[in-house]
Amino acid sequence: MFPRPIEQTSPASQWLYKIAVPVALVVWLLPLLGVALTSIRPATDLAQGNYFGIPSAIALENYVQIFTESPIAGYMLNSFKVTVPTVIGAVALSCMTGFALAIYGFRLNLIVFFMFVAGNFVPFQILMVPVRDLTLKMGMYNSWTGLAMFHIAFQTGFCTLFMRNFIKALPYELIEAARVEGVTEWQIFWHVVLPLMRPAIAALSVLIFTFIWNDYFWATVLTTSAESQPITAGLSSLNGQWIAQWHLVSAGSILAALPPVLMFFLMQRHFIAGLTLGAVK
């Protein structure tokens, strides 16, 4: 193990380490802690210049206020409307593409695979004008469907990379054995491979959920009004309205951050497995 396990060092340095870790954590998360604290700070504190001190009272009414005086609940709902179909769509499509690329040795295999991989890394701006135009033409501009359609298509690139590598690592004998039994290709996919893909599906689902929930660029390009904007775009426009009302901005920020954070905590192992794919081979 590197570095040397702390248990093998002197008691003094063990102590030091056990103090250093939480201290470092507090410093590291200072921006977040500041915002969390401000989100429960009464407006009067800010007026009196108490921006970073201890709040004089716990003002949960900030949260009530943003729910009653801003369309934030609608923004959150829009985010779910975009995110959930995207997760389902991208994962479903990539299960199939990943299966095709991992199992069959056809001639264009690597070309198609690298097309997915490369496409996944292009800057969004090169897609912006045509995708906006396409969405307009399909009558999906400024709607969650238009946003979800693009996200499904784009995320399929990353998901294919992931799924293909995952299936490639499964024992190929399973497929051969099934073929000898005379099972159709679809049944192999459905009954043999898909059940083994559960961990990959879980990992991708949490990852894609977070990516899409946090997307801001496409939200600003493909939606314009509060009826269809997700929370990231909504929060940014609320920030323009709530000038100097940092307690409200903070409460909104915490709210926007909550779903992906919860998702991460519930599915931590899968999340990290998805993110570090390829980093450890």
Contact of 230 with 82, CB cutoff 8 Å: yes
72-103 vs 231-241: helix axis angle to the nearest 10? 150
The one among 19, 64, 133, 196 contacting another protein by CB under 8 A: 133
Q: What are residue 211's phi and psi, to 5 degrees? A: -55, -50
Stretch that binds another protein, among 2-10, 63-71, 80-88, 195-203 (CB under 8 A): 2-10
CB of 77 to another protein, least distance (A): 17
The one among 10, 12, 123, 137 contacting another protein by CB under 8 A: 123
The one among 43, 77, 88, 128 contacting another protein by CB under 8 A: 128
User: What DSSP element (H or E) covers 18?
Assistant: helix 11-28
The one among 147, 175, 200, 221 contacting another protein by CB under 8 A: 221
60 to 79, contacts with another protein by CB under 8 A?
Answer: none
CB of 221 to another protein, least distance (A): 7
Q: Which is nearer to another protein, 198 or 269 (CB)?
A: 269
Burial track 199-208 (b if 16+ CB lie within 10 A, e otherwise): ebbbbbbbbb
CB of 234 to another protein, least distance (A): 10
- List all residues 6 or more positions away from 204 whose beta carbon is below 8 Å from its beta carbon: 90, 91, 94, 159, 162, 163, 274
3 to 62, contacts with another protein by CB under 8 A?
Answer: 3-6, 17-18, 21-22, 24-25, 28-32, 34-35, 38, 49, 51-52
- Distance separating alpha carbons of residues 124 and 153, to the nearest angstrom: 13
Neighbour count for residue 222 (Cβ, 10 Å):
27
- Distance separating alpha carbons of residues 143 and 155, to the nearest angstrom: 19
Q: What are residue 64's phi and psi, to 5 degrees? A: -60, -45
The one among 40, 66, 82, 103 contacting another protein by CB under 8 A: 103
- What single letter denotes the amino acid at residue 94? S
The one among 10, 54, 121, 171 contacting another protein by CB under 8 A: 121
CB of 227 to another protein, least distance (A): 19
Q: Which is nearer to another protein, 57 or 262 (CB)?
A: 262
- Asked if 246 touches another protein (CB under 8 A), the answer is yes
- Distance separating alpha carbons of residues 193 and 207, to the nearest angstrom: 21
Q: Which is nearer to another protein, 84 or 128 (CB)?
A: 128
- Asked if 272 touches another protein (CB under 8 A), the answer is yes
Q: Could you give the string, one character per residue 138-177, with x where binding to another protein holds by CB under 8 A and - elsewhere?
A: -----------xx-xxx-xx--x-----------------
